[in-house]
Amino acid sequence: MANSYIKSIKSLPYLKRLSFLLGIDIILIFLSALRLIIRRYVDTYQGVLLSDFFSIIHDRSLGEFFQYFKEFAIVVLFFLLLRRTSQRIYFAWALIFLFILFDDSLKIHETFGAFFSSKFSTIDFWSFRAQDVGEMIVFGGVGLLLALILVPGYLKTDREHKLRSHVLLVLVFFLAIFGVFLDVLISFFDWYELRMVFHLIEDGGEMIVMSIILWITFIYHKNDLPIDLPEN
């Protein structure tokens, strides 16, 4: 059984493209981890690796721009799928990732979280920061709105595209674990080094999942991904 799954993975199309995307992700994660180690243990180093541009946990870094590229490419591929298949489910998926792109680039949930915190900082939210509560309100509200768009499209699409959406839903779930759950969890840690490690896991995980989503979406666009794995 294990050999069958290994063969199935090896037979998947465009693995070189996935390897390329993940390779860049791993290099950027490694550079960010190296930067943290140097800042903590090598006081005499003042070189280029200390630049925030090479840290995926900082805004407007190389890793963040690479993430923008992936999200934009995913949106374009979903609109191409919509045009080719006329399945409205892909319009919903395009809107979802368009929001992710805008949120990442414009810091929508962080901005609202800061505004919410400035208004309700004195209220006890069961150990949650007002900033985190504000950010969760954004995710919850936008998630509900996008679900209202996604569900009708899902119900009216055919079996093949429903199965494709199942794969995307699983990947988006993992994206939410890194981007939402871990982000809130980090706020409970006071130890700076531990917070930085979890920030690295959070942003690195988001990058890897987004690369897989781009790869899957590209395969859907090429219409080359078999839905069923072999039984033997």
Residue 140 lies in a domain: yes
CA distance 191 to 38: 18
Residue 53 lies in a domain: yes
Residue 230 lies in a domain: no
Residue 48 lies in a domain: yes
Range of lowest pLDDT (46-60, 72-86, 110-124): 110-124
DSSP 83-110: HHH--THHHHHHHHHHHHHHHHHHTHHH
The number of beta carbons lying within 10 Å of the beta carbon of residue 113 is: 21
Which structural domain range is residue 101 located in?
A: 2-222
Q: How many domains does the chain have?
A: 1
Residue 231 lies in a domain: no
Q: What is the pLDDT of residues 76-117, one digit of tens each?
A: 999 999 998 989 999 999 999 999 999 889 888 677 777 777
Residue 72 lies in a domain: yes
Task: Name the pLDDT band for 208 (thresholds 50, 70, 90).
Answer: very high
Range of lowest pLDDT (132-136, 157-161, 198-202): 132-136
Residue 31 lies in a domain: yes
Residue 223 backbone phi and psi in degrees, to 5: 60, 40
Residue 94 lies in a domain: yes
